């Protein structure tokens, strides 16, 4: 009878929810486990003396449902390699399911060939994650939604909209507001926000002569004497955003704020935002803020942890994730 008892005990242990994290956004991961009321998985993620990544999983994960929280933000290559090595360690430890929770998916802007003899790095990263042993991927506000098709494993695409909408309603409820997309590609996003907030939308017509450089040409939409909300998936160098803010203010806007999911903030982004016509910038914590960004009075942050925690709970229990955004 002992083998039967052992088998019964194994069935109880199996499919246990376990959450691990790399070093890219530890604070977010710790907030997620608090929301789920589960302990953080024990793992040492460090470096050998030559700089190679060292991972040791400190607990049994056999037959478990494991989630690895790791943004592939700067330093992108370090954090991506950490994710791959953690996944490989969990796969070799016989985890039953391994979900890579990537709040910010690095290389997402390299989703197509923009010139001859150039890579599609977003596809390469997708192949690496699947080859490492991930059985599912969860990410938030992908720069290009079609990247989901680069994976041959299930992909859950979350949207920061519920979190940002709640903040917008507190700040702009009952006010004469308009949602502006910083480019033509984001008009659908602006329309979705405008519909839920029952306000008008507009867009910025811009030209991009080269990478990380954009020129604002026209403001399309009525912004005179209105509170304007610029909505985007990310803020990188902030060149487009600050130029848009200046153009909108020049058209007579009363108040201009920007909302974005991913605070990349590379190069001179912080100083540009500080010196710009934009009155405030609200971002989520998919990427941890640098000390300089935390000290900037114009920048504030809202947490995406409740959304990630609920998505993890639903995936673990086999419930619908898409119903979060209905």
Beta strands in the chain (DSSP E): 17-21, 43-47, 53-57, 65-69, 97-102, 136-140, 155-158, 177-181, 200-210, 213-220, 227-235, 255-263, 280-284, 299-302
Task: Decide: 83 and 102 in contact? Cβ < 8 Å.
Answer: yes
pLDDT digits 0-9 by tens, 182-204 = 988 899 999 999 999 999 999 99
Query: Rounded mean pLDDT of 218-243?
Result: 93
The per-residue pLDDT for 205 is: 85
Task: Decide: 284 and 163 in contact? Cβ < 8 Å.
Answer: yes
What is the share, in percent, of the chain residues with pLDDT greater than 70? 92
| Predicted structure pTM score | 0.91
235 phi and psi angles, rounded to 5 deg = -120, 120
Question: How far apart (Å, rounded) are the C-alpha atoms in residues 252 and 218?
Answer: 14
Question: How far apart (Å, rounded) are the C-alpha atoms in residues 141 and 162?
Answer: 12
β pairing state of 17-21 and 227-235: unpaired
By the 10 Å C-beta count (0-12 exposed, 13-18 middle, 19+ buried), 153 is classed as middle
Task: Decide: 303 and 140 in contact? Cβ < 8 Å.
Answer: no
Token output for 203 = 């867009």
Going edge to edge, which strands form the sheet with 299-302? 213-220, 200-210, 177-181, 227-235, 255-263, 280-284, 299-302
The per-residue pLDDT for 12 is: 40
Question: How far apart (Å, rounded) are the C-alpha atoms in residues 198 and 262?
Answer: 25
Token output for 247 = 């153009």
pLDDT digits 0-9 by tens, 7-28 = 333 334 458 999 999 999 999 9
Q: What do you get for the CA distance between the two ends of the chain, in Å?
A: 50
pLDDT digits 0-9 by tens, 77-109 = 999 999 999 999 999 999 999 999 999 999 999
Query: Rounded mean pLDDT of 174-186?
Result: 87
Question: How far apart (Å, rounded) are the C-alpha atoms in residues 80 and 105?
Answer: 9
Task: Decide: 101 and 68 in contact? Cβ < 8 Å.
Answer: yes
Chain centre to alpha carbon of residue 218: 29
Q: Measuring CA to CA, which residue among 57, 81, 96 is closest to residue 132?
A: 81
Task: Point out the residues that are catalytic.
Answer: 206
Read off the DSSP letter of residue 40: B
The answer on pLDDT for 153 being more than 60 is: yes
Least confident of 74-78, 170-174, 221-225, 257-261: 170-174
The per-residue pLDDT for 176 is: 87
- In three-state form (DSSP H/G/I as H, E/B as E, the rest C), the secondary structure along 115-174 is CCCCCCHHHHHHHHHHHHCCCEEEEECCCCHHHHHHCCCCEEEECCHHHHHHHHHHHHCC
The per-residue pLDDT for 183 is: 86
Read off the DSSP letter of residue 41: P
The per-residue pLDDT for 209 is: 59
The answer on pLDDT for 173 being more than 90 is: no
Task: Decide: 114 and 86 in contact? Cβ < 8 Å.
Answer: no
Q: How many CB atoms lie within 10 A of CB 169?
A: 12
């Amino acid at each position: 009878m002992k083998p039967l008892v052992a088998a019964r005990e194994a069935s109880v242990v199996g499919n246990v929810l376990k959450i691990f994290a790399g070093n890219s956004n530890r604070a977010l991961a710790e907030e997620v486990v608090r929301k789920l009321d589960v302990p953080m998985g024990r793992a040492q993620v460090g470096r050998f003396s030559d700089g190679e990544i060292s991972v040791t999983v400190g607990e049994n994960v056999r037959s478990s449902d494991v989630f690895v929280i790791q943004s592939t933000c700067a330093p992108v290559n370090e954090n991506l390699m950490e994710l791959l090595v953690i996944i490989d360690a969990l796969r070799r430890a016989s985890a039953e399911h391994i979900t890579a929770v990537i709040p910010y998916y690095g290389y997402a802007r390299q989703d197509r060939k923009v010139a001859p003899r150039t890579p599609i790095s977003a596809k390469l990263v997708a192949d690496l994650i699947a080859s490492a042993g991930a059985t599912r991927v969860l990410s938030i506000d992908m720069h290009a939604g079609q990247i989901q098709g680069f994976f041959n494993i299930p992909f859950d695409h979350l949207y920061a909209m519920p979190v940002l909408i709640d903040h917008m309603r507190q700040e702009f409820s009952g006010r004469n507001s308009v949602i502006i997309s910083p480019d033509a590609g984001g008009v659908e996003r602006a329309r979705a926000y405008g519909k839920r907030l029952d306000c008008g939308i507009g867009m910025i017509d811009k030209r991009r002569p080269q990478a990380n450089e954009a020129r604002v040409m026209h403001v399309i939409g009525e912004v005179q004497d209105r509170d304007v909300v610029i909505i985007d998936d990310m803020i990188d160098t902030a060149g487009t955003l600050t130029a848009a803010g200046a153009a909108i203010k020049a058209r007579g806007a009363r108040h201009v704020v920007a909302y974005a999911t991913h605070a990349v903030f590379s190069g001179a982004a912080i100083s540009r935002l500080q010196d710009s016509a934009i009155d405030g910038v609200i971002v989520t914590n998919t990427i941890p803020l640098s000390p300089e960004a935390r000290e900037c009075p114009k920048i504030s942050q809202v947490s995406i942890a409740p959304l990630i925690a609920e998505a993890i709970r639903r995936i673990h229990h086999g419930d619908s994730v898409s119903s979060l955004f209905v």
